[in-house]
Amino acid sequence: MMSISSAMSVTSLNGLNLGDRVAVKSTRKLISLRRSKAKTGIVRFLGDTQFAVGQWVGIELDEACGHNDGSVDGMRYFQCRPSHGIFAPVHKVTHSANNPRSHKDKETVCPVDEGHLQNLKNASDAENLLQTQIRLLEAAADLRNAENRQLKV
């Protein structure tokens, strides 16, 4: 199993905020004469990455037309479904004209007390915390079951 590290995101960059609804125009040249459709989604990461120099925006796309699940080369930048994640240079990303969403409208990923919530940098951190708590509870249950089996022998 490959180990994945986590990166920290800033909350605001060049007028973009975590949770904003954005569009990113494809940089690939099209052979046909049709206009390329911008990909739309929600900003989940802002800042520096290990895979390339510069300021990058991690976007959870509305459709499965991305390249990743929020991780690149073993580094987790945000969490999303496979093929729903994409990174774009900050200058290629604009606020979406369709269904604009303010960063203030972000939904809480999991219930945690206020003290922990203040320490979380973005929704991805909350999801990672919840997943870690679940794994710990599962491990404790497995250990308890193993101890019970040994006592019966």
For residue 8, CA distances in Å to 16, 24, 29, 55, 76 come to 16, 22, 32, 13, 9
CATH classification (class only), 1-105: mainly beta
| Alpha carbons 70 and 134: distance in angstroms, whole number | 21
The one-letter code for the residue type at 28 is R
Query: pLDDT tens per residue, the chain (153 residues)?
Result: 455 667 777 788 888 999 999 998 765 544 444 445 678 999 999 999 999 999 999 999 999 999 999 999 999 999 999 999 999 999 999 998 764 444 444 433 334 444 444 444 555 566 666 777 777 777 777 778 777 777 766
Pairing of strands 75-76, 5-6: parallel
Domain extents for the chain? 1-105, 107-153
Which of 43, 93, 86, 51 minimizes the C-alpha distance to 66? Answer: 86
| Alpha carbons 102 and 39: distance in angstroms, whole number | 18
